[in-house]
Amino acid sequence: MAQPAGAQDDESRADSGFDYNRTVALSDGVFAIALTLLVLNIALPATGAHRDLGSALLEQGTEYESYAIGFAVIALLWVRHHAFFRSLERIDTLLTVLNLVYLGFVAFLPYPTRVLGRYGGEPASVVLYAITVAIIALIGAVMRAYTLRAGLRARELRQSAREHLWIPPAVFLASIPIAFLNTKAAELFWLVMLLPRLSRRITGQRG
């Protein structure tokens, strides 16, 4: 009796050098913890005799903003990571090492998010966050490029998709000099990372 295609894929992945399912489970766990830790960056408001709770909550606007940015970035990274691993036929030692380094920076990301929430008006806070995300995006691009060269993918990427791999790290690195002029402008510049996705949707192309 023929096995379903999905079952055959699972068997081929299980026969590879590293267990595919455990690698994905570890990755998802790190992303889940990083997303959960973001809310801890929002401190309880301090109130006093001349300051009510409502005013104190409103004064924490930068912390709410950093939470939203942090959640959106980590969520986007998870979506890309999930789609990437679904396209693999197998994994090897080098890809596993690269993925662990990648996850190490993902786990670190709540810290620069907290710094951004507390010191959002300081260029150094934006620089720290931008460098961290740029490193994550760069490692992600390296992993994708490596799997193409090593023949680990189930399907090839279009040339346009290959070029888009390097857009996220370039966007965050380019935002660093902008941060020294205006920190809010640097944060808004990060939205450029979404433009390739929007253009593909408008033209009806698939990523």
Q: Which pLDDT tens digit goes with each residue over 69-94?
A: 899 999 989 999 998 998 888 888 89
Cα(67)–Cα(117) distance, integer angstroms: 7
Least confident residue range of 47-51, 105-109, 197-201 = 197-201
Q: Has residue 150 been placed in a domain?
A: yes
Region of poorest pLDDT, from 57-66, 94-103, 179-188: 57-66
Q: Which pTM was predicted? A: 0.79
Summarised one tens digit per residue, pLDDT across range 132-190 is 999 999 999 999 889 988 888 766 655 545 556 788 888 899 999 999 999 999 988 88
What is the count of structural domains for the chain? 1
Distance CA 200, CA 206 (A): 6
Give a yes or no: residue 6 inside a domain. no
- d(CA 121, CA 182) in angstroms, rounded, equals 8
- Tell me, yes or no, whether 4 lies in a domain: no
In a domain, 2, yes or no: no
In a domain, 77, yes or no: yes
Q: What is the number of alpha carbons within 13 Å of residue 65 lying toward its C-beta?
A: 17
Calculate the average pLDDT of the chain: 80
| Residue at 73 is within a domain | yes
The reply to whether 10 falls in a domain is: no
In a domain, 11, yes or no: no
Using DSSP's 3-state secondary structure scheme, residue 145 falls into helix
Return the SS3 of 88.
Answer: strand
* Domain ranges, residue 75: 17-41+50-203
pLDDT of residue 178: 94
